[in-house]
Structure 1
Amino acid sequence: MVDFSMIRRDAHAQASTMVRRLGELVTTESPPGVIANLRTCADLLDSWGSRVLSRPARRIIHDGLPHLLWPAADQQVLLIGHYDTVWPAGTVTDWPFVVEDAIATGPGVCDMKSGIVQLFTALSLLPDTSTVGLLLTCDEESGSPTSRPLIEHQARRSHAVLVAEPSTEHGALKVARKGGSVYQISVRGRAAHAGVEPHRGVNAAIELAHQLLAVREFAAAGTSVTPTTLRGGSMTNQVPESAEFFVDVRAWTSEELHRVDRMIRAITPRLPDAELVVSGGINRHPLPESAALPLLAIAARVGRELGLPAVTSVHAPGASDANFTGSLGVPTLDGLGGVGGGAHARTEWVDVSQMPDRAALLAGLIASILESSRPDPGRRRDSRVSPYA
């Protein structure tokens, strides 16, 4: 039987250690794609994880990016997190880690370094982690291009996936997420002198403006279609011969993602002789609520046993790696990380006073899943070690 009172007591005994570790992890910057920084951060996490799991990590490197995997032979539960942030190297110099009145700020403190610290603390509270796998990736903020096969394979080996992304500001877990797509729309025009004979050119910037306004109209209730970065031209006295912009799409259903995908791929030039090239597509399918509700029920019971406030849940418009695992049909619960907000902004914060209870909730949830887990003969589960592992 799970001793919930001991789990909560032991979690609170580590409160100061958690804050110290959070400061160390935030200070060890891990900007997207900067391999030297990511390796240094991976070294730190490897030392923490291998100690608490009593087994070494497998460092899986794709395109130089170091992902950390601690697989279990009979993997019942898979924990997922990412240690890359959106912040460039050097950000911590002018925006250092600070804690005031239990509120910590700093680059990546909420998304999702507090969740990683809580995750390691939760593992330290368990008497046996031999059937718990852990995966920490470093390209989630870039769309998980190299880690996705690894995530999906490890999810298929598991009965449940728990994701330590941040909760909401009020501590709600995330039981559904929008899916997302990213497109690059490139325009090819024809250069000409902007002052002498602009009529001989095909202005790629004007074509871009037409298309930018057009794709915005593909949005619908619950579906956002948002042009983001754009660029075009090279000289102030030349008709631009090329331009491009990116489009971010979010939707609650795969059907909506496919609808927008068809519409974007069907766009045609407005200016004579202009050409369009569309690349990109659907990146993550939605995380369905059905994948999370059974685990949410266990989390709610664990919260009561721990004496915590009632566990609540939300549908989150942002995507995470939980989209990959939940869309495979593997039971997945997200938002088990830090209680905070302001992710991807300089207002990013996390409430460190809640970190021990959140670690206790995660530990109790893992223990309860392991206690009740039974092999399901009706479900084929791949227990082989992946070529990605």
Structure 2
Amino acid sequence: MPLYVDHLLKQQDTMIAMLRDMVEMETPSADKQAVYRLAQYMAGRFAKIGANVEFLQPNAGNHLRASWGSDNEQVLVLCHLDTVWPIGELARRPFCVEGGRAYGPGVYDMKGGTVQAFFALKAIIELNIRPGHKIVFLCNTDEESGSMSSRALIEQEALRSRYVLVPEPTYGAAGAVKLTRKGWGIYHLMVTGRTAHAGNDHEKGISAVTELAYQILKLQALTNYSVGTTVNVGVITGGTVFNMVPDKAEARIDLRAASHDELQRTEQEILSLTPVTPGAILKVTGQINRPPLEATKGNLQLYRRAQKIAADLGIELPGAHVGGVSDGNFTSSVGAATLDGIGAVGDGAHAVHEYLELKAMAPRAALVARLLAE
């Protein structure tokens, strides 16, 4: 159906201008006022095309809900407005367009996909399409930091929805959608030992750093690539001076697993670590942050539908299996059919070379429009 593509191609410059606006509003997750400024900007854009807007949890996140249509059934579009980049990154990497690509912090993850989804809704309204269901956008402001304040809202909206579209970045040069995502757990290991003089009384000390080294080897042994499980000790600290047996050491641990059972099994291994060094004390805290997004029957049906629409638009739409997480993990886990990674084509999420392919914006927005409208 060329209708949507033609309509959106005529608005390409306007899409790029909106993308510039969004990228030039820096939105680190921890800066509530910064992300709220972008949420207000988006609220204004939604209101201008006739959507109803409201802010949710103003004391926690200023998450934005925008809805269009009055039908009882709804379809959910799930976006996040925050990025991993701190205030000041824009000065180092200003938004620019060069060689058919847009560059800048957050351009690919996921401000580009948010622009495309917004213009998909705008096209539906301007072309006077009546989908027969309400279209709801939930734009949260804390996805990159774990969606702590928005998870309940996301799951609540998902349970009301026929299906969920997540315009997170696509995967790879072919622009694959993300059929599965691993589940994610975050843990903190604290080791307590006993101090002693490193020269005079070394034998009286209990080295927390040495004990932590033993535990790191145990944790590394939990990684099993054959089933997609990884345990990464990403941050370690310990000791204060080199000539003292250290009594404190700690580690931050990242767990990824492809299935619920494997995620829970490996979590129990982490939570039940025991000391190797006599007298050392371990304390492990943390939990599963996101369940896996698995290839459920509903998710695969939605993907096959998207493939048919994409073929009609001249787009190949492969599927990918990835280790990164998104809020789509939550929506799928509560039983809502979810299609994730339906956003921008490009590369460099969480990386300084981040970019978006401009030629893909209108066709990918058209794909979202048809998924929303049909």
Bin for the TM-score computed over the shorter chain = over 0.9
Return the match for 1:93 from 91, 109, 123: 91
Q: Give yes or no for contact 1:60–1:68 (8 Å, CA) kept in 2.
A: no
Aligned to 2:308: 301
- What secondary structure sits across from 1:92 in the alignment? helix
8 Å contact from structure 1 (residues 52, 120) kept in 2: no
Q: 1:275 aligns with which of 278, 281, 285?
A: 281
**Does the CA-based 8 Å contact 2:328-2:338 persist in structure 1?**
yes
Stretch of structure 1 that moved more, 186-195 or 262-271? 186-195
Task: Decide which of 51, 55, 61 is 1:54's aligned counterpart.
Answer: 51
- Structure 1 letter corresponding to 2:203: H
Aligned mate of 1:233, from 230, 236, 239: 239
Residue aligning to 1:386: none
Q: Aligned to 1:263, what secondary structure does the other structure show?
A: helix
Structure 1, unmatched stretches of 5+, are: 369-389
User: What is the letter of the counterpart of residue 181 of structure 1?
Assistant: G
**TM-score (normalised: structure 1):** 0.89
Q: Contact 1:151/1:325 (CA < 8 Å) preserved in 2?
A: yes
| Structure 1 residues 121 and 71: CA distance shift in structure 2, 3 A | closer
Alpha-carbon distance, 1:322 to partner? 0.6
Q: Which runs of no fewer than 5 residues in structure 2 stay unpaired?
A: none
Tell me, in whole angstroms, the C-alpha distance in 1 between the residues paired with 2:335 and 2:181: 14
1:136-177: CA deviation from partner (whole Å, max 9, x where unpaired): 111111111111101000000111000010001311111211
Greater CA deviation, 130-139 or 328-337?
130-139
Contact 2:43–2:66 (8 Å) recurs in 1: no
Partner of 1:246, secondary structure, is strand
Secondary structure of the corresponding residue to residue 57 of structure 1:
strand
1:235 deviates by: 3.3
Instruction: Tell me the residue number matched to 2:361.
Output: 355
Distance 1:364 1:210, change over 3 A: same
Count of matched residue positions in the alignment of Structure 1 and Structure 2: 363
**In the alignment, is the contact (CA less than 8 A) between 1:81 and 1:116 conserved in 2?**
yes
Asked if 1:140 corresponds to 2:143, the answer is yes
Is 1:69 aligned to residue 73 of structure 2? no
Q: CA offset at residue 37 of structure 1?
A: 1.3
Residue number in structure 1 paired with 2:334: 328
Q: For the aligned residues, what is the CA RMSD? A: 1.7
TM-superposed deviation, 1:62:
4.4
**2:315 partner SS:** coil
After TM superposition, the score normalised by the length of structure 2 is 0.92
C-alpha displacement of 1:135:
0.4
Alignment partner of 1:43: what SS? helix
9, 31, 34: which is aligned to 1:12? 9
In 2, Cα distance between equivalents of 1:302 and 1:311: 10
What's 2:119 paired with? 121
Are the equivalent residues in 1 in contact too, given 2:53–2:67 (CA < 8 A)?
no
Q: 1:204 aligns with which of 205, 208, 222?
A: 208
3-state SS in 1 of match to 2:187: strand
Give, in whole Å, the separation in 1 of the partners of 2:66 and 2:232. 38
The alpha carbon displacement at 1:338 in A equals 0.2
Q: In 2, Cα distance between the equivalents of 1:26 and 1:108?
A: 6
2:21 matched to which residue of 1?
Answer: 24
CA drift of 1:277 comes to 0.8
- Identity %, equivalent residues: 39
Displacement of 1:52 in angstroms is 2.8
Partner amino acid, structure 2, of 1:313: G
Q: Secondary structure in 1 aligned to 2:40?
A: helix
Alpha-carbon distance, 1:246 to partner: 1.3
For residue 326 of structure 1, report the CA deviation from its aligned partner.
0.7
Query: Which amino acid counterpart does residue 284 of structure 1 have in structure 2?
Result: R
Give 1:184's match in structure 2, choosing from 183, 188, 191: 188
